[in-house]
Amino acid sequence: MSWDHRAAYAPLELYANSQLGEGGANATRNCIAATLIHMARVLRAPHIHPQQLVDSVYGVGFHRPEDFAPMVSGLRRAWPPLPTTSIVHPDPEALLGVIDAAGIAGYPIGCSFYCDDQGAIVPAVTPHLHVSVVTAHDDQGVSLLNVWRDTTQLLADSDFLAATAFPAGWLCIFQQSIPTLSHNGGTA
């Protein structure tokens, strides 16, 4: 299966190295907020700073791990048209199939995975967890927009599955097609 959402995310302003400048991976811990905001922005949501969303959900100055469900609720309060959202933790053998089904439908997808202390995705279990946007999947592998680094990382399927080993591998899917995509998940 092949689909590509990268062009939809290209014009968005990210927070390049904002997390890294604040102490590295897991320092401010607002990657779920940043990822969900970027997923919502391709659906034409207004701009919200990730820490502002974290503060509205958990309180000012919160810098501990976030969860998808409270962050989705907070984003829905900030942007009521947020579409139906699925938060799932598929079995490892089903993960790529779930991602492909959502990607082909044109849905924005966020995924949790392991990273190094600089926020780069790694195909191994580490002390650091991160969340970013899944932007494409083809025979080369899975492409992720790393919201901390403003970079795209391409991982072979086997490396992606290693990076999403339990307890990582959670998905958050907004069930609305990105308006700038054709129906097959590719760019229009």
The tokens for 164 are: 């999403």
Full domain range(s) for residue 130: 16-174
pLDDT value, residue 74? 94
pLDDT value, residue 50? 81
Q: How many domains is the chain built from?
A: 1
How far is 141 from 157, CA to CA, in rounded Å? 5
Q: Put residue 29 in one of left, alpha, beta given phi > 0 → left and psi -120 to 50 → alpha.
A: left
Cα–Cα separations (whole angstroms), residue 18 to 6, 25, 106:
21, 10, 28
pLDDT value, residue 186? 55
Strand 151-155 to strand 109-115: parallel, antiparallel, or no bridges (unpaired)? unpaired
In a domain, 68, yes or no: yes
In a domain, 7, yes or no: no
Q: DSSP character for 150?
A: T
Run of H or E including 128? strand 128-138
CATH number of the domain at 111, please.
Answer: 3.90.70.10
In a domain, 187, yes or no: no
In a domain, 5, yes or no: no
In a domain, 89, yes or no: yes
pLDDT value, residue 25? 47
In a domain, 2, yes or no: no
In a domain, 184, yes or no: no
Average pLDDT of each block of 10 consecutive residues along the chain (188 residues)?
88 56 52 88 87 85 77 93 95 95 97 86 89 95 84 93 92 94 55
